[in-house]
Structure 1
Amino acid sequence: MELVDRARALVPAQGRAILGITGPPGAGKSTLTDALLADLGPDVGHLPMDGFHLADVQLDRLGLRDRKGAPETFDVDGYVAALRRLHDEPDRTLYVPGFERDLEQPVAAAIAIPPTARLVVTEGNYLLLPHGGWERVRPLLAACWYVDLDDDVRRQRLVRRHEQFGKSPADATAWVERSDEANARLSAATRERADLVLPVTVG
């Protein structure tokens, strides 16, 4: 697999490399990440941006519940700190939060990245965003790949995903059009900043 070889080539002689996978909601970032992790073997770490979602109790406090998934609804400081620790503390196990889609909530310390992980894959919508604190992410990545998918197919995937996790068809469609697509436009505007654009074909 060419992408596996490209990922392995990022690992430096000393220290760690972090590979970013970005793109709009529903493009297939997690699918690609899962495939890479499976093919690269056990000595590769995983740090998903989704684990840094603010919990609903915080979104309610901030009045951001209806914008969940937007850049300001993440703990960007915590995410950047975790990425920095991967470089600064390579001999320590790093525990990072995961994200439980059934609950739509982050889960503390759900993922462990051991010192043996010389390559770490991180994926999320805003890895190349140039403002709001997210501009600190790109310098910490050895490379960042953008996953691109036809917008109509991507929106259909998102509606199905929301339905699977409990929304009615009408509510799922409304959420995609109001929230996910606003976030998709932000991500799409960063496409040209990626080191590699990966078109996803369906069919």
Structure 2
Amino acid sequence: MSTPPFEDLLERARAMTTGPRRILGLVGAPGSGKSTLAARLAGALGPRRCVVVPMDGYHYADVVLEALGRRDRKGASDTFDVGGYVSLLRRLRSGEEAVVHAPEFRREIEEPVGSALPVPREVPLVLTEGNYLLLREGPWAALEGLIDETWYLEPPEELRLERLVARHVAFGKDPAAARAWALGSDAANARVIAATRERADLVVTPS
């Protein structure tokens, strides 16, 4: 499968910075390169035209996951505050507030931090990235119509797993535990995400 070069992706994103505010979504399995591409696009467009607001800011805190008995499934579709994320996208689309402050997920502590990402009204493009932007089951169905365009990232599977394991190791897991998580909980989530691929406006195969 061929994929547009970065310059073409950048031009496609730049075209969304004219007119009223638009929301561009990047979706894909864990380790597919969503954060990397989001940062690259935002860096090229500049902070006056694009702000990145990841879905991961709506991870339930570990204390909540423990209470729900879902700590060992962190990252599954039912371990997020979906209603909070939906409300954020609605606020961002409305443009009624001078600044909307979104939460941010900090991997070094594995917890979300509230109100860490300011999004001024004047910024025309919000780039949001996450695993379940195209899921339409349960509370995720409320995302319908809130994201203007969604790109599905699909790197070679071996590369995705390599990056994912390396990321888990970088943030504190030993190599064996990192691989076990990538092939266990992460793999189960990846299958759910892959089933949403057909809803994407564009499939990107990063290398």
Selected match of 1:100 from 106, 113, 126: 106
Q: Percent same amino acid among aligned pairs?
A: 51
When the two structures are aligned, how many residues end up with a matched partner?
200
Q: Distance in 2 between matches of 1:35 and 1:138?
A: 26
The answer to whether residue 42 in structure 2 is matched with residue 42 in structure 1 is: no
Does residue 1:185 correspond to 2:187, yes or no?
no
Find 1:147's aligned residue among 146, 153, 166: 153
The corresponding residue for 1:23 is: 28
- Once the 2 structures are TM-superposed, how far is the Cα of residue 12 of structure 1 from its aligned partner? 5.4
Alpha-carbon distance between aligned partners in 2 of 1:130 and 1:91, rounded to the nearest angstrom = 28
User: Tell me, what secondary structure is at the counterpart of 1:19?
Assistant: strand
TM-score by length of structure 2 reads 0.93
**Corresponding residue for 2:117?**
111
| Root-mean-square deviation over aligned CA pairs | 1.2
Kindly state the Cα deviation for residue 127 of structure 1 after the two structures are TM-superposed.
Answer: 0.2
Q: Is the 8 A contact 2:57 2:102 kept in 1?
A: yes
Please say if residues 56 and 112 of structure 2, whose CA atoms lie closer than 8 Å, have aligned partners that are also in contact.
Answer: yes
Partner of 1:171: 177
Consecutive unaligned residues in structure 1, runs of 5 or more: none
Structure 2: any 5+ residue segments left out of the alignment?
1-6
1:56 aligns with 2:62: yes
Partner of 2:3: none
Distance (Å, rounded) in 1 between the aligned partners of 2:179 and 2:47: 38
Q: Which amino acid aligns with 1:68?
A: K
Flag the 1:98–1:148 CA change in 2: closer, same or farther, 3 A.
same
The answer as to 2:83 corresponding to 1:77 is yes
Q: TM-score, normalised by structure 1?
A: 0.95
Deviation at 1:7, TM superposition (A): 1.1
CA displacement at 1:91 relative to structure 2: 4.0
Partner of 1:68 in structure 2?
Answer: 74
Deviations 1:119-141 (Å, cap 9, x if unpaired)?
10000000001112112224111
Is the CA contact (8 Å cut-off) linking 2:136 and 2:143 kept in structure 1? no
Letter in 2 for 1:35: R
